[in-house]
Structure 1
Amino acid sequence: MFKHSVFLLPLFLQVLHSAAVAQKKEPFALRISCGAREDVRTDPTNTLWFKDFAYTGGRPGNASLTNRIVPPLKTLRFFPLSDGPENCYTINRVPSGHYWVRVFFALVEGSNLENEPLFDISVEGTQVYSLKSGWTSSDELPFAEALVFVTDHSVLVCFHSTGHGDPSILSIEILQVDENAYKSGPQWGKGTILRTAKRLTCGSGKPAFDEDYSGNHWGGDRFWSGIQTLGQGYDKHKSVENTIKRVSIPPNFYPEKLYQSAIFSTDSQPDLSFSMEVDPNKNYSIWLHFAEIESGITSVGQRVFDILINGDIAFKNVDIIHNTGDRYSALVLNKTVVVSGRTLTVTMKPMKGSRAIVNAIEVFEVIVTESITSPEEVRALQTLKNSLGLPVRFGWNGDPCVPQQHPWSGVDCQFSRNSGKWVIDGLGLDNQGLKGFLPDDISRLRHLQNINLSGNSIYGAIPFSLGTISGLETLDLSYNFLNGSIPESLGQLTSLRRLDLNGNFLSGRVPVTLGGRPLHRASFNFTGNAGLCGVPGLRSCGPHLSTGSKIGIALGALGALILIVICSTCWWKRRQNILRAQNPTAREAHYAKARTHFVRDVQMTRPRVHDQSRPLADDEPRLLS
């Protein structure tokens, strides 16, 4: 009784887990039809693909489909090298969780099939795939797929030119899966990415997606490449219609159809072996799927086999019926191994009975995620990109430092162990035709040691904030159009060993803290600035006055002038009053004269009336009536 209780407890917990998952809302799913201006639905599953709007740059075009398994979409987006070597889709508003990120490729309509574009793909700053030659004629090569954790509500998918044609993208899918999907090994977690290297359904011979198999949406709509032989010539395949138990169990949710077909070894060659080419010295996670579907095997002990990976025993005495408790019941085994060579071989070796069996195989490369660049410094570089009018050919999209195979042009990176992130320690953008100004935000690149922006058309003032980058050793701003004075703050850069400001339009006195630095093994160059003074090689200048002092002197002089005018006016009026007080005659005469003038003015305003009673003189005019 006790034994049965122990056996039933795991099944009971699985039933509870399955019921809880069934009550969960549908997983997040976003499918983008690249280059499309409207939403699209595709047969046979009526799948919805969203239009491609505001995710990236590049150019839309018509698609030429080269493969029967790619989505039947009519448009794509391609990225000419003239638009920059790095181009990214930034997909926001993605809930935190665990996701398949899958990218399909196609050719631009009218392209020559012999000139396939070859490029690299990165997800969240980690390179996951390099497109291989021949992808246009393969079922497995025209897409890249990786299982990643999303923690910041956004997914960054980038395409990196390698000089072999322009990246051309047909579609991008972001498909949520269970938080613990494909949990494997000590390295598993948010610091790793699983890149799909191989996924096979054995026996059916037909490629299919989970959707074609009516699989649970939490499986993520995986693509299965169908095979009927492992290539040995002595194996055989079988398919059944029986119901398979334990198939869609969290966290991996495999479809039932996957276990209704299998490949078997034969009596003449009992070992069943699968081999594939891999990159050496990498970790690979191998997932093997089994179900006992052969009618002749009905009980425990009738089929027992070991599983070897590159000759080493990974699983010993595997008995499917014993492990699952029944026929027609799914068994999933996982092992993560280091492969030192270029071949990965999985062998099912019978130990009891005469034949081996396998229903499906999955192989993933385990990739350690790259540490990203400090977000503050990325924002500072984007501000610098805009203010300097960086040419389109630079790109500067995605992460400046990762993947390490594709850093931004003109940017030097260094890993900071203190923060666990990459930081920017150098800018080399000399003679690049930059036309803009230096923003104050450049000081947010606080780990800079070297700046070379010489030979451009940068105008405006040198930011005072440059003096706060304490580790700066080289600053070359020569042969630009900088004006104004040299900030006093540059004198605080105690590590500065080379300063080139020659060939600009700077003016004023060179700060004293810089003028004496050449005595301490530093190389400073201020020549070619007609308005500068104060160091050997430049014109001499008078007493040094700061801007504040000059303003104070000007205001003081203006105030003194106003005071002199007021005092002079008051003195003159007072003098006039004293003179009048000392000369009463003049004062009376003055008032008498004033009265006389007043009387005369009044009389002049009155009308003249002639006396009619007196006789008129001979020379007086007479009025005629």
Structure 2
Amino acid sequence: MRGPLLIFLLVLLSAFKPSQQAPYALRISCGARNDVHTAPTNTLWYRDFGYSGGYFTNATRPSYISPPLTTVRYFPLSEGPENCYHIERVPHGHYSVRIFFGLLKDPTFDNEPLFDISVEGTLVYSLQSGWSNHDDEQAFVESMVFLEDGTASICFHSTGHGDPSILSIEILQVGNNAYNFGPGWGRGTILRTHKRLSCGAKQRKFDVDYSGDHWGGDRFWNAIPTFGESSDRVLTTKNSIKLSPKVPNYYPEALYQTALISTDNQPELSYTMDVDPNRNYSIWLHFAEIDPSVTGEGQRVFDILINGDNEFKEIDIVKLSGGVNSALVLNKTIPISGRSLTVTLDPVKGSHTIISAIEIFEIVNAEAKTLIDEVRALQKLKSALGLPLRFGWNGDPCVPQQHPWSGVDCQFDSTKVKWFIDGLGLDNQGLGGHLPEDISKLSHLQHVNLSQNSIKGHIPSSLGKITGLEVLDLSYNFFNGSIPESLGGLTSVRILNLNGNSLSGRVPAALGARLLHRASFNFTDNDGLCGIPGLPTCGPHLSAGAKIGIALGACVGFLLIATCLTCWWKRRQNILRTQQIAARGAPYAKARTHFSRDVQLTRHNNGHENARTAAENGPILLS
């Protein structure tokens, strides 16, 4: 009985197990010190974290659709032109990344910030003048992007007009195949949302307001009640809509319960929107046959033209979706050379056309990133040199290509499909600190100019590992110690300026030999250098072992001398102490000496007297 009962319980539990794990969702209230919940959905916004700089202050919401948050983080140009949010521990997957812009409290037009936004190193949007006066999608930017290294990088690039200010950031996981537009789609592309329209809707809504699936990413749908005066009418239904079983777009049912339908006066429907020229756009069109006058196939058939080209011919919604009140989604990628995009529905059968929603995405080619080891090496260099805040040096040093790091030169490696650093130009920038050994990890460097700063310490020997280095200018700093022997291995070096430092010792012989190959070296204004023409002559050359032996011998000799001096000093102290004691006891010693001498003389005289008496009286007999 136990076995069948256990199996029954497992089956019962599996029936209540969610069919799919909930998507990852992270929302940040920029500038907030504490977590925030917003009405009416009680959405959780985490306190501000992950930023590279900037300040927080009170916010003014520029748009009705902006989240009801009260703070922003803004980034003054004095803090650097590039500032980023780096979010860690983001699961691998496909994400909708949405950034809402904010305004400082009581703004004026003159301080409306205009700046660029990049996601994962790719420029996705540039704010245009007047954006804060539009109560629509211009209040935010949204992109579909793959995040595969466990992090999300979102950066804001100053363009010289106002300080970038951010109201909120959302990172919402969507289906891995969401918005698959066919050839060219995948990890190498980013879809930036240009426009989403819910046709016939009276109010703009998010997916959450539509009770949409969380895997849709909580998309925003702007309401469009008409394409133009007398060109259409609104059609609605309360009937349930059969959604396509094909994932992963997860569109909400309510999206298809409203539609615009053409009128007898104008049987075709047409909508025109502004776009950026010379871009590729992914167009998604949504339909559901909710007109009760249409009950089967063949009753409504129409063509779809995009900028005058017939891209979809003889569309029968009932036939393609499987019935009435069933959703149909069509997609097409279109290159646009002009500044407008027009979608036209032209009837073929039946007198009217119908449409539920429109989505337009700009297809952006994702930028290749910089080699991660070189990025880390630059970050350590930034710290070691105490790079001023005005440099920024946040995000990726080479991308977006419109905003590389100041003082950094980049080259693209088509084999590795990565950027690398081939030059550093940081001369006369007031830098201090020291040059770290990790600079050798910038293995593609060809030009380095750090002259006219206040950099201290030794020249890293690891510089000799950068074999392609052609120009190295460290002049007019405070480098000390000797020139590393490893620099002699820089066979490609053409210019080496080490003048104006405090270097000492012999110039490596290999560097001296390079002078015969038309290399230009400058070692002047280093009082302790020697060994090549133009510098003082060095003494006999000693090997490292000999130098160590001499040093040890000097130490032993010093110890012997110190020991002898110590013994002599102690002996001298003893003699002086004895003399002092003798001087204090001299009268007593003299009297004692005289007394001893008198006793001895008395004994001597008595002996002689006794002998004479005995001789005169003869022997004495004892009885």
Partner residue of 2:474?
477
Superposed CA offset, 1:578-624 (max 9, x none): xxxxxxxxxxxxxxxxxxxxxxxxx99xx9xx9xxx9x99xxxxxxx
Does 2:24 correspond to 1:28? Answer: yes
SS of 1:553's partner is helix
Number of aligned positions between the proteins: 558
Displacement of 1:413 in angstroms is 0.4
State the shift of 1:534 in Å: 1.6
Superposition deviation, residue 125 in structure 1: 0.7
User: 2:116 and 2:224 mapped to 1: Cα distance?
Assistant: 28
Show the counterpart of 1:290.
Answer: 287
Whole-angstrom CA distance in 2 between matches of 1:320 and 1:564: 107
Change (3 A) 1:393 1:548: farther
2:366 partner amino acid? T
Distance 2:559 2:217 in 1: 84
Q: Distance in 1 between matches of 2:79 and 2:36?
A: 27
Alpha-carbon contact 2:52-2:394 (below 8 Å) kept: no
How much does 1:309 deviate? 1.5
Is 1:529 aligned to residue 526 of structure 2?
Answer: yes
Counterpart for residue 401 of structure 2: 404
The residue that corresponds to 2:154 in the other structure is 157
Q: Is residue 180 of structure 2 the alignment partner of residue 180 of structure 1? A: no
User: Which of 185, 197, 202 is matched with 2:199 structurally?
Assistant: 202
Instruction: Tell me if structure 1 keeps the 8 A contact 2:213–2:252.
Output: yes
Which residue of 369, 373, 381 maps to 1:372?
Answer: 369
**1:115-134 matched pairs, under 5 angstroms:** 115-134=111-130
Distance 1:21 1:454 in 2: 66
* SS of equivalent residue, structure 1 residue 524: strand
CA distance in 2, matches of 1:71, 1:558: 75
Q: CA separation in 2, counterparts of 1:54 and 1:296?
A: 55
Counterpart residue number, 2:536: 539
- CA spacing shift, 1:292–1:114, aligned 2, 3 Å: farther
Spell out, residue by residue over 1:494-530, the C-alpha distance to the aligned partner (whole angstroms, 9 max, x if none): 1100000111111111111112322212111111111
For residues 329 and 355 of structure 1, do their structure 2 counterparts lie closer, same or farther at Cα, with a shift above 3 Å needed? Answer: same
Once the two structures are superposed, the pairs formed by residues 99-498 of structure 1 within 5 Å of their partners are: 99-138=95-134, 139-231=136-228, 233-246=230-243, 250-498=247-495
For the pair 1:42 / 2:76, whether they are aligned, the reply is no
Residue type of the alignment partner of 1:533: C
Residues 370/565 of structure 1: CA separation in 2 closer, same or farther (3 Å cut): closer
Letter of the 2:145 partner, please give it: V
CA contact (8 A) 1:247 1:255 kept: no
Question: Closer, same or farther in 2 for the Cα pair 1:446/1:565, shift >3 Å?
Answer: closer
- Call closer, same or farther: CA 1:410–1:563 in 2, change over 3 Å: closer
How far off its partner does 1:311 sit? 1.7
Is the 8 Å Cα contact of residues 37 and 53 (structure 1) preserved in structure 2?
no
Q: Give the distance between the partners of 1:49 and 1:441, measured in 2 at CA.
A: 39
In the alignment, the residues of structure 2 paired with residue 248 and residue 364 of structure 1 have an alpha-carbon distance, to the nearest angstrom, of 23
Give the 3-state SS of the residue equivalent to 1:283 in structure 2: strand
- State the match for 1:518 in structure 2: 515
How far apart, in 1, do the equivalents of 2:182 and 2:107 lie?
44
> Does the aligned pair in 1 maintain the 2:31–2:48 contact within 8 Å?
yes
1:94 Cα deviation after fit: 1.0
Tell me how far 1:216 sits from its aligned partner.
1.0
> Hey, what's the Cα distance between the residues in 2 that align with 1:37 and 1:292?
49
Q: Is the 8 A contact 1:509 1:544 kept in 2?
A: no
**Does structure 2 conserve the Cα–Cα contact (< 8 Å) formed by 1:86 and 1:159?**
yes
Following TM superposition, by how much is the alpha carbon of 1:552 offset from its aligned partner in structure 2, in angstroms? Answer: 2.3
Q: Provide the rounded CA distance (Å) in 1 between the counterparts of 2:420 and 2:328.
A: 47
SS at match of 1:412: strand
Question: C-alpha deviations, 1:435-463, integer Å up to 9, x for none?
Answer: 11010000000000000000000011111
Which letter does structure 2 place at the counterpart of 1:37? R
Q: Which residue identity does 1:417 align to in structure 2?
A: S
Correspondent of 2:94 among 83, 93, 98: 98
1:247–1:256 CA contact under 8 A, matched in 2: no
Name the SS for the 1:401 alignment partner.
coil
The answer for unaligned runs of 5 or more in structure 1 is: 1-18, 567-602, 618-625
Instruction: Tell me how far 1:182 sits from its aligned partner.
Output: 0.9
SS in 2 for 1:52: coil
SS in 1 for 2:255: helix
Alpha-carbon shift at residue 55 of structure 1 (Å): 3.6
What's 1:52 paired with?
Answer: 48
3-state SS of 1:364 partner: strand
- Using the TM superposition, name which of 207-216 and 291-300 deviates more: 291-300
SS in 2 for 1:274: strand
* Contact 2:50–2:87 (8 Å) recurs in 1: no
Q: Does the CA-based 8 Å contact 1:258-1:359 persist in structure 2?
A: yes
SS of the counterpart of 1:516?
Answer: helix
2:497 aligned partner: 500
CA offsets 1:375-407 (integer angstroms, 9 cap, x no match): 000000000000000001111001000111110
Could you say which residue in structure 2 is the equivalent of 1:79? 75
* Pairing 1:586-625 to 2, within 5 Å after superposition: none
Q: State the 1:558 CA deviation.
A: 6.5
Task: State how far apart, in whole Å, the 2-side matches of 1:391 and 1:565 are.
Answer: 52
Q: Read off the aligned partner of 1:320 and give its amino acid letter.
A: I
Displacement after TM superposition at 1:226 (Å): 0.5
Instruction: Say whether the 8 Å CA contact 1:191–1:368 is kept in structure 2.
Output: yes
- 1:343 and 1:565 mapped to 2: Cα distance? 94
Are the structure 2 counterparts of residues 203 and 149 from structure 1 closer, same or farther at C-alpha, using a change threshold of 3 Å? same
Instruction: Measure, in 2, the Cα distance between the counterparts of 1:425 and 1:197.
Output: 37
Q: Distance in 1 between matches of 2:57 and 2:378?
A: 31
- Give the TM-score taking structure 1 as reference length: 0.85
- % of aligned pairs identical? 65
Deviations 1:323-366 (A, max 9, x none): 11211111011111211222222111111111211110000011
For the residue of structure 2 that corresponds to 1:23, the secondary structure is coil
Tell me how far 1:537 sits from its aligned partner: 2.0
Letter in 1 for 2:115: F
Tell whether the 8 Å contact from 2:28 to 2:46 is kept in structure 1 after alignment: yes
Whichever residue aligns with residue 104 of structure 1, its letter is F
Q: 1:20 to 1:80 in 2, by over 3 A?
A: farther
Asked whether the equivalents of residues 437 and 459 of structure 1 are also in contact (C-alpha less than 8 Å), the reply is yes
CA distance in 1, matches of 2:179, 2:16: 19
Q: Structure 2: how far apart are the matches of 1:449 and 1:493? A: 11
Amino acid at match of 1:62: N
Q: Give the letter aligned to residue 450 of structure 1.
A: H
1-side partners of 2:229 and 2:400: how far apart? 39
Give the aligned CA root-mean-square deviation in angstroms.
Answer: 2.6
Contact 2:283 2:359 in 1 (8 A): yes
TM-score, reference length from structure 2:
0.86
